[in-house]
Structure 1
Amino acid sequence: MQKKKNINPSKLVNVPFSKTQCGVDFYINTGNGKEICGVLTENTTFKTDFFEFFFFRRADGFLLLNSKRIELHDDMVLLLSPHQRQEWHVDERALHYTFLIFREDFMRTFIADKFFVYRLLYCYQTDTPPYLSVSQETFDEYMRFLGKIKQELLHPTADSYNLIVAVLYYLLLVINREYASAYRLPVDVPKNHYAYQFKDLLERHIYDVQRVAEYAEMMHVSRVTLNNAVVAQFGVSANHLLKQRLLEALKNDLLFTDCTVSQLADKFHFSDPSHLMRFFKQQTGKTCSQYLSDYKNGVYE
């Protein structure tokens, strides 16, 4: 993980994955937090283009992730998806953690399922928190997996890529099982890809498409079929999933861009600014101006 020097400390910095720091030509790395001490607070705010998992033995302080405040604590696994605004309020020297970072395309050669990350309930999630509290036994199990990945990165051989992906795949699924149990989420074997395809399309089209029927049309299925698939896999309706993703995008643009409500209405294709404001109030209980004022005054979700 590498960040460039930032002249304006309040500017949002986009951080690309750096393969050169991993020792081998793979889009993955793991290690001890002491190895990268300072990287979390080098820039006031930043985004990355890769997944970041933090396995905290000891932790204090908090993280502002998009519009949400996440309190850090011991025996916590923090699961961050790409392209989320991060602002860390921590003393990095007091943190004790292991990190795992990887780009989604790292696994694509080995795993043909292009919707794999959307099958992981903690990836691109808006309804449940992006973290887990785990037992010492579970934590130690995760560390064993990360240790195997680190050994292959340090001493690569001809089959290291396949072995690393296999271990990563297993680790991600084990975490998913633990996450589903913690938040009582369904983990039924999927009958089709519709629910995961829907989440993929939401990530790519939320600024342009805000009706479930239009997504169903893009997928060449009926709205009923799509909704049934989403309920079976995620335990919520397709409309709920869409509204939560739309709200997340609206919050981020309201808080972290200079767009007016009128400009946001145009950007998100609302027919009128009043329709956007009505939607926002229904979902949050606050007007756009109240929400923005609360955030600036340190009142977070």
Structure 2
Amino acid sequence: MPKQNVQHFDFLRNKYGTELLLDVGRMESLQNFVLSDTPHVLSFYDIMFLERGSGTFSLDGVAYPLEPGRILFTSPGQVRQWKTESEVAGYTLFFEEGFITTFFNDPLFLSRFQFFNNASSPSGVLAPAADFEQHLQTVQALEQEFKQLQNDSPHMLRALLYQLLIRLNRLYAQQHGTNSDTEGNHTIYTFRKLLEQHYMQKHQVQEYAELLHITPAHLNSITQRYFGATASTLIRNRLILEAKRQLLYSPKTVAEIAYSLNFSDTANFNRFFRSQLGQSPQSYRNEHIK
């Protein structure tokens, strides 16, 4: 039985004297930056720009190679783990959702970016040298603003962050074949937000279609167009992701996990898990804990 040894880290809100829900710095020297081989979870968003390093960075059990030019994205609640083979250097930019959403008055704002919603997609990009340098210049402009904080600095920081997120979203969409349009379809981003809120209780496309006041066929059509997958596939992927997290990082029994995910019984959960991964939940746990 695995031990519940995932560390949790919250945002240091008053580092600059007043509550400013954004920070930036160099990974190798920033105090409290988590570069640990122990599984850990952040309560905030994080974007990392690697200039040096080798090894792997795992996110929810999927390992990504560390190499210069790689940009990694993580969202609150995702389980992270580093296995470094040489010194990791570069920039980290991290923020809480409130820093963005209260300013733009858009509760769906961060749901619009592919790289923060990657339950079934890669979690990073390998940027060409010119693109990587352009992104670093923006990050360094953010860093410079922190060195000379003024009353209007939050506005400048948000403007720079907004520009950076749009550029990164375009690069991510280009590399992974997703849709970079963050404005075109309000319904699709509402579905993504609803899925994150209700996936543990609602498993059927019909349930989300009713919340959105559209037909299941229409919901499947727009998710296929924007994400290259049906709504049912996205729901299954989110359930599997949570099941994996609980199997690997919690002491719950398989029966307890089935109950927490609102399956009618353990046998039903076992069938679902096996249909997606080709093995039982207990076999998956045993294999990965080894």
Same fold at TM > 0.5: yes
> For residue 62 of structure 1, what is the aligned residue in structure 2?
56
What's the offset of the Cα at 1:188? 4.3
In the alignment, structure 2 segments of 5+ residues that lack a partner are: none
The verdict on how the C-alpha distance between 1:190 and 1:164 changes in structure 2, with shifts beyond 3 A counting, is closer
Aligned partner of residue 101 in structure 1, secondary structure: strand
Match status 1:210 vs 2:211 = no
**Contact 1:30-1:146 within 8 A present in 2 as well:** yes
Instruction: Supply the AA of the counterpart residue of 2:177.
Output: R
What's the offset of the Cα at 1:196? 0.9
Match of 1:46 among 23, 40, 48: 40
> For residue 4 of structure 1, what is the aligned residue in structure 2?
none
The CA deviation string for residues 68-119 of structure 1, in whole angstroms up to 9 with x for no partner, is 222212211011111111222226x711111101111101232122111111
In the alignment, structure 1 segments of 5+ residues that lack a partner are: 1-8
After superposition, where does 1:132-143 map in structure 2 within 5 Å?
132-143=125-136
Instruction: Supply the AA of the counterpart residue of 1:263.
Output: E
Q: Structure 1 length normalisation: TM-score?
A: 0.89
**Contact 1:190-1:233 within 8 A present in 2 as well:** no
The verdict on how the C-alpha distance between 1:43 and 1:104 changes in structure 2, with shifts beyond 3 A counting, is same
> For residue 78 of structure 1, what is the aligned residue in structure 2?
72
Match status 1:105 vs 2:98 = yes
Q: Using the aligned pairs only, state the percent identity.
A: 27
What's the offset of the Cα at 1:62? 1.5
Match of 2:237 among 240, 244, 247: 244
The verdict on how the C-alpha distance between 1:43 and 1:73 changes in structure 2, with shifts beyond 3 A counting, is closer
The verdict on how the C-alpha distance between 1:10 and 1:181 changes in structure 2, with shifts beyond 3 A counting, is same
Instruction: Supply the AA of the counterpart residue of 2:189.
Output: Y
RMSD: 2.0
Match status 1:291 vs 2:254 = no
Match of 2:253 among 234, 243, 260: 260
Moved segments of 4+, more than 4 Å? 188-191
Q: How many pairs were matched up?
A: 288
Q: Distance in 2 between matches of 1:123 and 1:76?
A: 16
After superposition, where does 1:1-301 map in structure 2 within 5 Å?
11-22=5-16, 25-36=19-30, 39-41=33-35, 44-90=38-84, 94-188=87-181, 190-297=183-290
Q: Distance in 1 between matches of 2:161 and 2:91?
A: 15
Q: Structure 2 length normalisation: TM-score?
A: 0.92
Instruction: Supply the AA of the counterpart residue of 1:101.
Output: F
The CA deviation string for residues 20-65 of structure 1, in whole angstroms up to 9 with x for no partner, is 3356531111111222267424582221111111100111122232
Aligned partner of residue 119 in structure 2, secondary structure: coil
Aligned partner of residue 72 in structure 2, secondary structure: strand
What's the offset of the Cα at 1:244? 0.5
Aligned partner of residue 116 in structure 2, secondary structure: coil
**Contact 1:24-1:156 within 8 A present in 2 as well:** no
Q: Distance in 2 between matches of 1:220 and 1:46?
A: 38
What's the offset of the Cα at 1:228? 2.3
